[in-house]
Amino acid sequence: MKNLLSAADLSVAEIDSVLDLAEEMAEVQSRPIKKLPALRGRTVVNLFFEDSTRTRSSFELAGKWLSADVINVSAKGSSVSKGESLRDTVLTIAAMGVDAMVIRHPASGAPAQAAAWTGIPVINAGDGTHEHPTQALLDAYAIRNHLRRGNHDDLAGARIAIVGDITHSRVARSNVALLRTLGAQVIMVAPPTLLPSGVDTWGVEISNDLDAVIDSVDIAMMLRVQRERMSGGYFPTPREYTVGYGLTRERLAAMKPGAAICHPGPMNRGLEISADAADAASSLILDQVAAGVAVRMSVLYHLLGGEEETT
Ligand code: CP
């Protein structure tokens, strides 16, 4: 693996390799001393042009627990706020001799462009409405562990609903690509106004009726309603949205035994997910957060491990 730009680029073997190594990394996560020497001497830059809690923190922890040097550069507080371009910013960071860049940017395609400009490994940490591949990998990891606890086979054949604001969701796009590669049965559930054009070509089921599908799924993956990307207005209204598409207490009760809930975070509690659902025993939301560190350790190792150290 040279870069990680899109979940659609990953084969079954590559996904399995990342998830299997993440299991070993998760063991490190539970140790009192969380340090492996695997990336000693390597330098990773987290370059974030959009806000983040989970992704940036977990990439920083992942790099540090593998003994890499990690620095964080945010648009706020950097020369980006003085008008420096994306190209000049990434070429400047690359010229310092870093080994990899983790990039989050509001423009779809920005990490791919940075990889082409610099030639150094780039990990897409979320680009516009395009993709968020490490989110899909950590979701697959958390779901796989859940299914295995229930003595199920892996994700192949699991029925997974992705619910809500599909139009603005890079998480949905990466999950569709990854889950389909792994053989899961994916159903998108959303109001017609939050389904992107072309969704009928994604190779998934589509529904506008959450109540018709909620009792049949193994996983309900609730998406954040991205109000910050809705400059043209907000429809349905928040109240209508919750009534039609929120994971309410009643819908939680309708889920089948053994079914589980995911949400990539941050959550709009009371809008797309009720507190009952977010905090339910069947919620995998904190498992997803924990998986984020192990999976990102695995991704960094796949990109940077095994290369000869220069002394
Ligand atoms: N899921 C996710 O990307 O969260 P952050 O925006 O907090 O990184």
Residue 197: pLDDT band by 50, 70, 90 thresholds? very high
Q: Do residues 181 and 270 share a domain?
A: yes
Q: Hey, is 309 helix, strand or coil?
A: coil
Q: Do residues 102 and 242 share a domain?
A: no
Å from CA of 58 to ligand 1 middle: 10
Q: Do residues 182 and 97 share a domain?
A: no
Q: Do residues 108 and 165 share a domain?
A: no
Q: Do residues 87 and 157 share a domain?
A: no
pLDDT (tens digit, 9 = 90+) per residue, 252-264?
A: 999 999 999 999 9
In a domain, 211, yes or no: yes
Determine if ligand 1 sits within 6 Å of the CB of residue 266.
Answer: yes
Determine contact, residues 136/164, Cβ cutoff 8 Å.
no
Q: Do residues 18 and 92 share a domain?
A: yes
Q: How remote is the C-alpha of 311 from its chain's centroid?
A: 35
Q: Do residues 274 and 144 share a domain?
A: yes
CA dihedral 112, 118, 122, 128 (to 10 degrees): -40
Q: What angle do CA 300, 25, 28 make, to 5 degrees?
A: 125
In a domain, 237, yes or no: yes
Average pLDDT value for the chain: 95
Q: Please say if the pLDDT value at position 73 is more than 50.
A: yes
Determine if ligand 1 sits within 6 Å of the CB of residue 58.
Answer: no
Mean pLDDT of 292-300: 98
- 168 annotated among ligand-binding-site residues: no
Q: At residue 137, what is the residue type?
A: L
In a domain, 310, yes or no: no
Q: What is the spatial distance between Cα 91 and Cα 114, in angstroms, rounded to a whole number?
A: 8
- 256 annotated among ligand-binding-site residues: no
pLDDT value at residue 152? 76
In a domain, 31, yes or no: yes
In a domain, 309, yes or no: no
Number of structural domains the chain divides into? 2
Q: Do residues 285 and 137 share a domain?
A: yes
In a domain, 107, yes or no: yes
Q: Do residues 249 and 297 share a domain?
A: no
Q: What is the spatial distance between Cα 122 and Cα 110, in angstroms, rounded to a whole number?
A: 10
Å from CA of 266 to ligand 1 middle: 6
* Residue % of the chain over a pLDDT of 70: 97
Q: Do residues 117 and 190 share a domain?
A: no
Å from CA of 310 to ligand 1 middle: 34
Q: What is the spatial distance between Cα 116 and Cα 120, in angstroms, rounded to a whole number?
A: 8
Q: What are phi and psi of 190, to 5 degrees?
A: -165, 160
Atom of ligand 1 nearest to the CA of 132: 3
> Could you give the ipTM of this predicted complex?
0.99
Q: Do residues 139 and 267 share a domain?
A: yes
Å from CA of 125 to ligand 1 middle: 9
Q: What is the CA radius of gyration of the chain?
A: 19
pLDDT (tens digit, 9 = 90+) per residue, 38-47?
A: 999 999 999 9
In a domain, 1, yes or no: no
- 35 annotated among ligand-binding-site residues: no
Determine if ligand 1 sits within 6 Å of the CB of residue 53.
Answer: yes
Atom of ligand 1 nearest to the CA of 58: 8
pLDDT value at residue 232? 66
Q: What is the spatial distance between Cα 289 and Cα 300, in angstroms, rounded to a whole number?
A: 17
pTM of the model: 0.96
pLDDT (tens digit, 9 = 90+) per residue, 98-154?
A: 999 999 999 999 999 999 999 999 999 999 999 999 999 999 999 999 999 987 778
Reading the block at residue 270, the tokens are 């009371």
Token pair 């070429």 is at which residue? 91
Best residue for ligand 1 mutational test, from 49, 51, 53 (most atoms within 8 Å of Cβ) = 53
Determine contact, residues 301/4, Cβ cutoff 8 Å.
no
pLDDT value at residue 90? 97
Determine if ligand 1 sits within 6 Å of the CB of residue 57.
Answer: no
Q: Do residues 126 and 264 share a domain?
A: no
Percentages helix, strand, coil for the chain (3-state, rounded to 5) are 45, 15, 40
Name the nearest CA neighbour of 31 among 308, 309, 294: 294
Domain extent, residue 113, equals: 7-131+292-304
Atom of ligand 1 nearest to the CA of 126: 3
Best residue for ligand 1 mutational test, from 46, 49, 50, 52 (most atoms within 8 Å of Cβ) = 52
Determine if ligand 1 sits within 6 Å of the CB of residue 292.
Answer: no
In a domain, 311, yes or no: no
What CATH number has the domain bearing residue 282? 3.40.50.1370
In sequence order, what are the residues at sequence separation of 6 or more whose Cβ sits closer than 8 angstroms to the Cβ of residue 255? Answer: 214, 215, 217, 220, 261, 282
Judge residue 254's burial from the number of C-beta atoms within 10 Å of its C-beta, 0-12 exposed, 13-18 middle, 19 or more buried: middle
The DSSP string of 8-44 is: GG--HHHHHHHHHHHHHHHHHHTSSS----TTTT-EE
Mean pLDDT of 205-211: 98
* Residue % of the chain over a pLDDT of 90: 90
Q: At residue 135, what is the residue type?
A: Q
Determine contact, residues 294/29, Cβ cutoff 8 Å.
yes
Determine if ligand 1 sits within 6 Å of the CB of residue 159.
Answer: no
Q: Please say if the pLDDT value at position 71 is more than 70.
A: yes
